[in-house]
Amino acid sequence: MAVSVAELRRRGYSDDDIRLAQTVQDANRRAGAPSRTLAEVLAGQPARPRSSAPIEDLTARQLRRRGSYGQAALLADQAALVEKDPDRAEKARYHASGLKALAERPVQLEFDFFGGGNVSLGHQYIDAVQARLMATKATPAERGLALGTLLLITRHLSWQDYTCTKTAADLAEMQGLDKGNMARIIALLENVGAISRVKRGRTKIITVTPEGAFRGDVNRHAETVNRYKGEVVQLRPVPAE
């Protein structure tokens, strides 16, 4: 039970002693050190264990449930509870608060913009394709559909490659088009140089230039261009007029 100031005066402590004890008490509280009553400070007694924040049983199972940062935060907090040096206790609590923040699960964004690969889409490529489409006799709807199809093609490139993982039939199904309409759109994109097709077995593989949509280490771009020339440019048929 806390002793009142009046009782401390009755016990013979001066007002200066009481004010000094209050200063020490406030300093301990700010530092996060175990608190002591004024009577304990004046009598030079150590702080009693705080029942409101008992030292937890740091079993292996309990620690595993908290994760790595949570374990570190708990250990720092528990160390601060038994630390006798106020400065060290303050530092322990400071670092514990930072570790607690790291232990909190991050907010999941609706879209992960950085987990889909390392595709780099060239603006000049898109601008050139759009300008070439405008110079054709294609209708505005066909030009828009061609650009939308090109977006899907670049979206589904193989890892660190220039080949699309989707066939023309896949692209048609993804956009709700019949195969005839998609064949015309693919031909339009090929005629303006937006894509190339290479027959491998019974399947025609859709490709884009490495400048169009490049995946991989940019320092190895020249190697990708050379591979593209050997695997696509030398093998592709001449587009129909």
Residue 136 in this model has a pLDDT that exceeds 90: yes
- Per-residue confidence (pLDDT) for residue 148, from 0 to 100: 93
What count of other Cβ atoms lies within 10 Å of the Cβ of residue 72?
A: 19
Give per-residue pLDDT as tens, 43-85: 777 766 554 445 555 566 666 677 788 888 888 888 888 877 7
- Per-residue confidence (pLDDT) for residue 113, from 0 to 100: 46
Handedness of CA 232, 233, 237, 238 (dihedral sign): positive
Strands 213-215 and 119-121, bridge-based pairing: antiparallel
Show the DSSP H helices in the chain as ranges. Answer: 5-10, 15-31, 38-43, 60-82, 86-103, 123-134, 140-155, 168-175, 179-191, 221-228
Q: Which domains does the chain have, with CATH numbers?
A: 5-44+56-103 (no CATH), 119-233 (1.10.10.10)
Residue 135 in this model has a pLDDT that exceeds 80: yes
Give per-residue pLDDT as tens, 199-241: 888 888 999 887 777 666 667 777 778 888 888 877 655 555 4
Give per-residue pLDDT as tens, 2-29: 678 888 788 888 888 888 888 887 877 7
Give per-residue pLDDT as tens, 170-209: 999 999 999 999 999 999 999 998 898 988 888 889 998 8
- Per-residue confidence (pLDDT) for residue 175, from 0 to 100: 92
- Per-residue confidence (pLDDT) for residue 137, from 0 to 100: 92
Give per-residue pLDDT as tens, 108-123: 545 444 444 555 666 7
- Per-residue confidence (pLDDT) for residue 27, from 0 to 100: 77
Greater confidence, 118 or 157? Answer: 157
Given pLDDT bands bounded at 50, 70 and 90, which one contains residue 103?
A: confident
Across the strands, what pairs with 19? none
- Per-residue confidence (pLDDT) for residue 115, from 0 to 100: 46
Number of helices (H) and strands (E), helices first, in the chain? 10, 4
Of 16, 18, 17, give the one whose Cα is nearest residue 5: 18
Residue 39 in this model has a pLDDT that exceeds 70: yes
- Per-residue confidence (pLDDT) for residue 190, from 0 to 100: 92
Greater confidence, 110 or 33? Answer: 33
- Per-residue confidence (pLDDT) for residue 16, from 0 to 100: 84
